[in-house]
Amino acid sequence: MAGRQLNVLSTLDQAKTQWYHFMAIVIAGMGFFTDAYDLFCISLVTKLLGRIYYTDTSRPDPGALPPNVSAAVNGVALCGTLAGQLFFGWLGDKLGRKSVYGFTLVLMVVCSLASGLSFGATPKGVVATLCFFRFWLGFGIGGDYPLSATIMSEYANKKTRGAFIAAVFAMQGFGILFGAIVALVVSAGLRTAYPAPPYSQDRAASLVPQADYVWRVILMFGTLPAALTYYWRMKMPETARNAKQAAADMSRVLHTEIEESA
């Protein structure tokens, strides 16, 4: 087994840069892109959540979330991320990167949709449901982060490993930027479709009922890049951790016969 694994690793280290390497950058990078979008887009809608569910004219800032609610909404996904990194890092070593990689993606898609569909009879109910699904979304993101970086590292050759990993991590910045763009576009679209007077003139009339859809659309939009890459992620070969499967998969991808020495 050790010799077979060394054959796979040696072949990967010495392989020339091929189209497959760039596909791996895109596929792993889209994981970072989606992770960043899902984690940071919540900060763009907290003000709207306060205006919709916690408007209290007796307070100096009637449209803001209470500090404890704001901390929970913004921080619960990060708590899930920590737990997910520990759990899926261990599970990836046990079961192989590929199978766990797909599961984290499915979890992110489901919880992203569920976060946007958070409903409740009271503001506390809506926020509690949102925080529940945001935690499990962070749990999936916590698994996707290390697995994306590890898979790219294990697929790359020695000469380009650093550059390829840097390219994957750079997608995180694009995910944050994309979140801001989506928030601006959705907000501008709502303002055009449902015009309302400025908040300073009429606090009650400035918040149209359709505003409740804005934050939901922004949160759910993160499912698109994740869902689009699911097929290609499942087509990726197993890494050298599973030596037998990796030898077969990488022989097909690199068009090189990898001997299975004992």
CATH (domain of 220): 1.20.1250.20
Query: Quick check: is 241 in a domain?
Result: no
Is there a contact between 122 and 148 (Cβ–Cβ < 8 Å)?
Answer: no
Average pLDDT, the chain: 79
Contact residues for 87 (Cβ-Cβ < 8 A; gap 6+): 139, 142, 143
Q: pLDDT at residue 137 above 60?
A: yes
Domain count for the chain, please give it. Answer: 1
Q: Provide the domain limits for residue 195.
A: 19-232
31-40 residue pLDDT tens:
889 999 999 9
Query: Quick check: is 100 in a domain?
Result: yes
215-257 residue pLDDT tens:
999 999 988 888 887 777 777 665 554 555 555 555 555 555 5
For the ranges 44-48, 136-140, 251-255, the lowest mean pLDDT is seen at: 251-255
Predicted confidence at residue 59, as pLDDT, reads: 61
Query: Quick check: is 13 in a domain?
Result: no
Q: pTM of the entire structure?
A: 0.79
Query: Quick check: is 259 in a domain?
Result: no
Q: pLDDT at residue 48 above 60?
A: yes
Predicted confidence at residue 174, as pLDDT, reads: 94
Whose CA is closest to 229, among 166, 175, 183, 161? 175
Predicted confidence at residue 111, as pLDDT, reads: 93
Sign of the CA dihedral 27, 29, 32, 33? negative
Query: Quick check: is 49 in a domain?
Result: yes
Q: pLDDT at residue 51 above 60?
A: yes
